[in-house]
Amino acid sequence: MSSGGSTKGGRGKPKSTKSVSRSSKAGLQFPVGRNARFLKVGKYADRVGAGAPVYLSAVLEYLAAEVLELAGNAARDNEKNRIVPRHIQLAVRNDEELSKLLGTVTIANGGVMPNIHRTLLPKKMGKGRDEIGSASQEFRLFIMEIRLSNRIKFVQV
């Protein structure tokens, strides 16, 4: 008879095979076995089907990938290489679906969304080139007038 390496009539596994995780069988990065254990220990139901932890892991992996992609974009927009909680907050709150899903969630060290009420913004008077558009532009024009008046005084003396 053959030794150890092959199976005889389908009885048992060859001893040289390695165990394959359910995560790798499903092509996932998130742990299927750990999620299965949490579903069993959590007493959400008396019995847990074989496909439930695989599906749960796939959903969690998709959500994590979505949030990380948006947070990475927010970090790149702020010219940073590292994602911090602020970037996650901006990513979640700027996305309509994630904001609805995580509406009541508080992200630690996430800060608040930038928002200035319309009544507090400076009013634009006109769109022409010579017309004044904002308070900062008014200030610049005022400084230019002072400089011009000082030059004229020096020239006259």
| Average pLDDT for 57-86 | 98
Asked if residues 85 and 68 have their Cβ atoms less than 8 Å apart, the reply is: no
**How much is the pTM?**
0.67
**3-state secondary structure at position 11:** strand
Tens digit of pLDDT for each residue in 85-142? 999 999 999 999 999 999 999 999 999 999 989 988 888 876 655 555 566 777 777 7
Please tell me the predicted confidence (pLDDT) of residue 157: 40
As a whole-number percent, the residues of the chain with pLDDT over 90 amount to 63
Segment 24-52 shows an average pLDDT of 96
- Cβ neighbours of residue 57 closer than 8 Å, sequence gap 6 or more: 23, 26, 28, 30, 31, 32, 35
- Of 1-10, 53-62, 80-89, 108-117, the poorest mean pLDDT is in 1-10
Domains along the chain with CATH numbers = 24-114 (1.10.20.10)
Q: Does 7 score more than 70 pLDDT? A: no
* pLDDT the model gives residue 8: 61
CA distances from 114 to 23, 75, 111, 117 (A): 40, 16, 9, 10
**pLDDT score, position 128:** 56
Cα–Cα distance, 35 to 40 (Å, whole number): 9
